[in-house]
Amino acid sequence: MKKYTKLLYLVLIIYSCVTGQSVQYYNNMDGLIQNLADPYVLQHNGKFYMYGTSDTESDMGIPVYVSDDLVHWQRPAGAKNGYAVFREDVWGDRWFWSGDVILHKGKFYMYLTAEEHLVVAVSDSPLGPFKQEVRRPMHPDIKEIDGSVFVDDDGKAYIYFVRFDDGNVVFGAQLSDDMMSMKEETITECLRAEQPWEFSKNEPQAKINEGAFMLKHKGIYYLTYTANHFLNVDYSVGYAVSDNPLGPWKKYEGNPILRGNDKIMGTGNGVFLKLPDENNMWYVYHYHFGNGRPRRIAMDRARFIADSKGGPDILQLDGPTTTDQKGPVIESNNY
């Protein structure tokens, strides 16, 4: 068996050298990154940048980690000590959560949460520092969290976020041309807790749909989300489909598509990556071991499969895996 394993690794190394593809192994039980939650991963110029909520330093800002292969991550040193956003550069004094980043006209825009309000900050680099010229939230009088941006094929940009309305409810809106504000007339409720699995009998209990992320597949919009309280072992992922980016939405009857097991629990609030397309698609998310914190980052394969009933293709996730897994194949010309 040992000889076979060594031979397999040798074959993979040779394959990697010949094809220019790197192959790495990982185990979600170790956590790709520890003490981090609500991950977002940006692909830019041959590197991956992960932003998220620190379980230990969320009052300082938004940290950033860098990787060449999605398996090995490091937090860069620098003027901001590994923070892409530092609290002195944006509105708010505490509770800096998530951090969705897009590249638009040569600038990087981060949509983060500060003190339960949405904030937009801008930088010339994916490492930051992300700053606000005018320090204010998108809606000073309305609590909103979990901003996630999707740019459609026609160039129109949309943001999906959570408002507190008898629980956590997902809303969507079209962004303005400068990416800094919402077109108020387009703000639309998208998702709220309604399916049976979204009402866990475990503690803590709450009516929650949050952590939205958009995928578009064969002209259909797939809005993924996470339900139940983030400290609950039943924090799990579902999705809904629509013909339009702002709905109306129909939740998949087979939800949840990712839920915990006897080892990894509290799974969700992640991001899908196409490397470079749906044939090599992955979901990066956070989890815990049943006690809510600390949270860690995990990664598993994702794909679309045909619906035998003739409906929209089904979004499928492999996880949560708890054994050694072959990491993504990263081609140098992918991104």
The secondary structure of 172-186 as a DSSP string is EEEBPTTSSSB-GGG
Q: What's the pLDDT score for residue 81? A: 84
What domain count does the chain have? 1
Which residue, among 259, 325, 265, has the nearest Cα to 293 in the 3D structure? Answer: 265
Is residue 224 within 8 Å of residue 237, measured between CB atoms? yes
pLDDT class of 20 with cuts at 50, 70, 90: low
Is residue 257 within 8 Å of residue 25, measured between CB atoms? no
Domain ranges, residue 201: 2-331
pTM of the model: 0.92
The Cα–Cα gap between 102 and 109 comes to 5
Q: What's the pLDDT score for residue 53? A: 98
- 52: phi then psi, degrees, rounded to nearest 5: -175, -170
Structure tokens at 98: 């998530």
Q: What percent of the chain has pLDDT over 70?
A: 92
CATH no. for residue 83? Answer: 2.115.10.20
pLDDT tens for residues 79-133?
Answer: 788 999 999 999 999 999 999 999 999 999 999 999 999 999 999 999 999 999 9
The Cα–Cα gap between 247 and 212 comes to 14
The Cα–Cα gap between 78 and 65 comes to 12
The Cα–Cα gap between 222 and 249 comes to 9
pLDDT tens for residues 123-150?
Answer: 999 999 999 999 999 999 999 999 999 9
Query: How confident is the model over 287-315, as a mean pLDDT?
Result: 96
State yes or no: is 313 an active-site residue: no
pLDDT at residue 7 greater than cutoff 80: no
Query: How confident is the model over 167-174, as a mean pLDDT?
Result: 99
Which one of the listed residues 89, 198, 210, 300 is annotated catalytic? Answer: 210
Which one of the listed residues 38, 89, 198, 300 is annotated catalytic? Answer: 38
Is residue 55 within 8 Å of residue 294, measured between CB atoms? yes
State yes or no: is 210 an active-site residue: yes
